[in-house]
């Protein structure tokens, strides 16, 4: 018996020393299911999010009060609002502009009138390029923008692996991505373009070997700034396309899905349910594992999620082009390592956690969700999750870096679309927003504007549109490579977006907007601010 055992051991050791060493932290991993329900109806926020907020709110309020007092000691701090920030889609243009905005609000990183407001936020949401930004911030435990710029973004954006020549010059990266997608396939999940796309994006956004491959969305809950409730609660959005009906693009009234470190799902009618982020990838039916007790973890790779939120490849809207060029050719070659390409390879495929779940009537017959970029329903600001009554948000700072115009600047149409769709969806806290013609006529598209100033039943929206104050910031969404001076110029211009071009009186006007509806007596200067910046 001992002899048999030793022989077995020897042949086993032989085997592992001769087999090629193929390891990947990318593949989903089987796990025992949790004792808590995997799926719940969307009656309110989760108990985990409630617990986070209970700890976050006092910290955020103390910081918000401190900022208000710095701006003007006559601000009252007795009755403080819940404040959120969003960063829109728009590729690296939006990431860099959004980073400059956060830098101007972050007291760790700048000493401006606006610095300190970031510390007072309770929620932060991003989609697409804004989701890249939020993932880079949250996935790396919330360093300062200066530190991300110097140590990660500047070199990575100058040498982006989304440029075929740069990828060709990094064969080890390419080979590792092949290993990653083969590992996902071996775990039973068919990779699509979004897998290599997310992997290559991650090399620019996350620290750690193989583009931060060990970072999951759910693992953010274990990072020190999250466990100490030092940071706003992060949310990333995406959309589902009902591919069975033959369409490629989501309609304007499509369901908006949200990813947080705790949950994935939607409050919107038709889905009205959430699942646990950590167990995404599990095969469920009516909220229970199809194989009893069998779940999956590690499907929620942060790179895959930030790739999902920015998946624009469905716009190809056809069988995958055989004559693809540029980075698309690299993606097809990478996917072709696992299977022949089909139309479905243009989507991010998630086993549908709401399969056979009766509350999710719109999607309960779909085995997979086929997710795409969060901005494809003409709402490029991730607002729906923040309009939910159960989140009790009072003020949202909306940094809109959309490319609505031919010069790649926003024109208000994305915010207007959200206003129209919020009315249809019964999200009554959305303030009135006028159509683009009014934005253009009044310059709301090029300077900060406050919406909902005078209606206490609405959230106040502080609109902060990308504008070229000091740098030509209307860069194309497709631009994936930025020189060091472009990266720096874009971030610095983002600071201008947040400060109305470093206008000395803007910080106080921002503070007036933030506390306008608290019922407290406002400093006398606020009236002039409202005259200048309020829409209605």
Ligand X SMILES: *[C@@H]1O[C@H](CO)[C@@H](O)[C@H](O)[C@H]1NC(C)=O
Tell me the closest approach of the beta carbon of residue 11 to ligand X, in angstroms.
34
**Given 16, 21, 322, 424, the residue binding ligand X (CB under 6 A):** 322
Q: Does residue 450 touch ligand X according to CB under 6 A?
A: no
Displacement of CA 342 from its chain's centroid (Å): 27
- Strands 288-289 and 284-285 turn out to be antiparallel
**Given 108, 187, 214, 312, the residue binding ligand X (CB under 6 A):** 108
**Given 378, 445, 466, 495, the residue binding ligand X (CB under 6 A):** 378
Contact 85, 102 (CB under 8 A): yes
**Given 22, 407, 437, 476, the residue binding ligand X (CB under 6 A):** 407
Tell me the closest approach of the beta carbon of residue 440 to ligand X, in angstroms.
13
Q: Does residue 365 touch ligand X according to CB under 6 A?
A: no
Task: Provide DSSP, 19-41.
Answer: S-----S-S-EEEEPPSS-SEEE
**Given 147, 505, 521, 527, the residue binding ligand X (CB under 6 A):** 505
Tokens of 23: 């390891």
What are phi and psi for residue 89, nearest 5 degrees? -75, 170
Count how many Cα atoms sit within 13 Å of the Cα of residue 429 in the half-sphere of its side chain. 17
Q: How far apart are CA 138 and CA 128, in angstroms?
A: 15
What are phi and psi for residue 182, nearest 5 degrees? -65, -35
Nearer to ligand X, 40 or 260 (CB): 260
Q: Which of 49, 110, 434 is nearest to 261 (CA)?
A: 49
Q: Does residue 167 touch ligand X according to CB under 6 A?
A: yes
Tokens of 37: 């329900």
Task: Provide DSSP, 323-341.
Answer: T--HHHHHHHHHHHTTS--
CB under 6 A: which stretch of 287-295, 311-319, 320-328, 518-526 binds ligand X? 320-328
Contacts of the segment 468-475: beta carbons below 8 A, 24+ positions apart: 468/409, 468/493, 469/493, 469/496, 469/497, 469/501, 470/496, 473/93, 473/97, 474/93, 474/403, 474/405, 474/407, 474/408, 474/409, 475/92, 475/93, 475/408
Nearer to ligand X, 298 or 330 (CB): 330
Contacting ligand X within 344-363 (CB under 6 A):
349
Task: Provide DSSP, 113-149.
Answer: TTTTTGGG-SEEEE-THHHHHHHHHHHTT---HHHHI
Q: Does residue 332 touch ligand X according to CB under 6 A?
A: yes
**Given 47, 224, 428, 485, the residue binding ligand X (CB under 6 A):** 224
Q: Does residue 442 touch ligand X according to CB under 6 A?
A: no
**Given 147, 472, 485, 536, the residue binding ligand X (CB under 6 A):** 472
Partner residues linked to 288 by β-bridges: 285
Q: Does residue 230 touch ligand X according to CB under 6 A?
A: yes
Contact 113, 428 (CB under 8 A): no
Nearer to ligand X, 42 or 126 (CB): 126
**Given 110, 115, 254, 330, the residue binding ligand X (CB under 6 A):** 330
Contacting ligand X within 137-156 (CB under 6 A):
141-142
Q: Which of 343, 228, 120 is nearest to 335 (CA)?
A: 343
Q: Does residue 231 touch ligand X according to CB under 6 A?
A: yes
Q: How far apart are CA 459 and CA 448, in angstroms?
A: 16
Q: Does residue 504 touch ligand X according to CB under 6 A?
A: yes
Tell me the closest approach of the beta carbon of residue 292 to ligand X, in angstroms.
21
CB under 6 A: which stretch of 94-102, 161-169, 274-282, 308-316 binds ligand X? 161-169
Q: Which helix (H) or strand (E) holds 266?
A: strand 263-266
**Given 208, 222, 326, 426, the residue binding ligand X (CB under 6 A):** 326
Q: Does residue 468 touch ligand X according to CB under 6 A?
A: yes
CB under 6 A: which stretch of 162-170, 205-213, 290-298, 519-527 binds ligand X? 162-170
Alpha helices in 149-231 (DSSP H): 154-158, 164-168, 171-186, 194-205, 209-212, 224-227
Q: Does residue 157 touch ligand X according to CB under 6 A?
A: no
Binding mask 254-293 for ligand X (x = CB under 6 A): ----------------------------------------
Task: Provide DSSP, 479-511.
Answer: -----HHHHHHHHHHHHHHHHTTT-TTHHHHHH
CB under 6 A: which stretch of 126-134, 147-155, 205-213, 322-330 binds ligand X? 322-330
Contacting ligand X within 233-252 (CB under 6 A):
252
Tell me the closest approach of the beta carbon of residue 15 to ligand X, in angstroms.
29
Nearer to ligand X, 47 or 55 (CB): 55
Nearer to ligand X, 40 or 418 (CB): 418
Tokens of 228: 């100490």
Nearer to ligand X, 438 or 518 (CB): 438
Residues of this chain that bind ligand X (CB under 6 A) = 108, 141-142, 164, 167-168, 174, 189-190, 224-225, 230-231, 252, 322, 325-326, 329-330, 332-333, 336, 340-341, 349, 367-368, 378, 407, 413, 417, 468, 472, 503-505, 532
């Amino acid at each position: 018996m001992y002899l048999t055992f030793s022989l077995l051991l020897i042949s086993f050791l032989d085997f592992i020393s001769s087999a090629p060493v193929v390891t990947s932290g990318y593949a989903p991993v089987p796990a025992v299911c949790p004792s808590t329900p995997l799926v719940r109806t969307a009656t309110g926020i989760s108990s985990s999010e409630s617990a986070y907020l209970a700890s976050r709110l006092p910290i955020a309020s103390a910081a918000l009060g401190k900022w208000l007092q710095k701006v003007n000691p006559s601000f009252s701090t007795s009755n403080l609002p819940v404040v959120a920030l969003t960063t829109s889609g728009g590729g690296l243009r939006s990431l860099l502009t959004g980073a400059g905005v956060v830098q101007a609000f972050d007291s760790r990183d700048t000493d401006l009138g606006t610095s300190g407001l970031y510390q007072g936020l309770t929620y932060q949401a991003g989609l697409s390029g804004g989701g890249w930004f939020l993932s880079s911030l949250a996935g790396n435990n919330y360093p300062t923008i200066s530190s991300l710029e110097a140590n990660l973004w500047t070199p990575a954006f100058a040498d982006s692996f989304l440029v075929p020549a740069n990828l060709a010059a990094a064969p080890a990266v390419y080979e590792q991505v092949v290993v990653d997608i083969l590992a996902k396939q071996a775990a039973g999940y068919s990779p699509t373009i979004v897998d290599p796309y997310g992997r290559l994006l991650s090399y620019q956004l996350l620290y750690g070997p193989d583009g931060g491959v060990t970072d999951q969305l759910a693992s953010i809950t274990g990072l020190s700034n999250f466990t100490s409730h030092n940071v706003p609660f992060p949310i990333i959005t995406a959309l589902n396309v009902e591919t069975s009906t033959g369409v490629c693009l989501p309609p304007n009234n499509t369901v908006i899905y949200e990813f947080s470190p705790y949950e994935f799902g939607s409050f919107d009618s038709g889905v009205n349910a959430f699942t646990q982020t950590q167990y995404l990838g599990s095969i469920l039916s009516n909220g229970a594992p199809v194989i009893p007790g069998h779940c999956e973890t590690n499907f929620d790779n942060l790179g895959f999620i930030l790739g999902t939120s920015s998946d624009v490849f469905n716009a190809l809207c056809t069988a995958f082009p055989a004559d693809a060029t540029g980075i698309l050719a690299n993606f097809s070659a990478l996917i072709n390592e696992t299977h022949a390409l089909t139309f479905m390879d243009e989507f991010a495929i998630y086993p549908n956690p709401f399969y056979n779940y009766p509350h999710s009537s719109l999607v309960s017959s779909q085995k997979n969700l086929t997710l795409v970029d969060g901005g494809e329903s003409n709402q490029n600001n991730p607002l729906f999750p923040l309009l939910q009554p159960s989140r009790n948000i009072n003020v949202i700072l909306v940094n809109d870096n959309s490319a609505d115009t031919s010069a790649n600047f926003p024109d208000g149409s994305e915010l207007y679309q959200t206003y129209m769709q919020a009315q249809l969806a019964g999200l009554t806290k959305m303030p009135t927003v006028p159509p683009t013609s009014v934005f253009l006529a009044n310059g709301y598209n090029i300077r900060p504007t406050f919406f909902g100033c005078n209606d206490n039943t609405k959230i106040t929206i502080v609109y902060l549109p990308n504008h070229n104050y000091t740098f030509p910031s209307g860069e194309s969404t497709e631009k994936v490579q930025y020189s060091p001076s472009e990266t720096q110029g874009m971030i610095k211009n983002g600071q201008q977006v947040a400060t109305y071009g470093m206008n000395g009186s803007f910080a106080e006007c921002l503070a007036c907007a933030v506390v306008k509806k608290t019922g407290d007596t406002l400093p006398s200067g606020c009236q002039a601010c409202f005259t200048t910046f309020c829409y209605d």
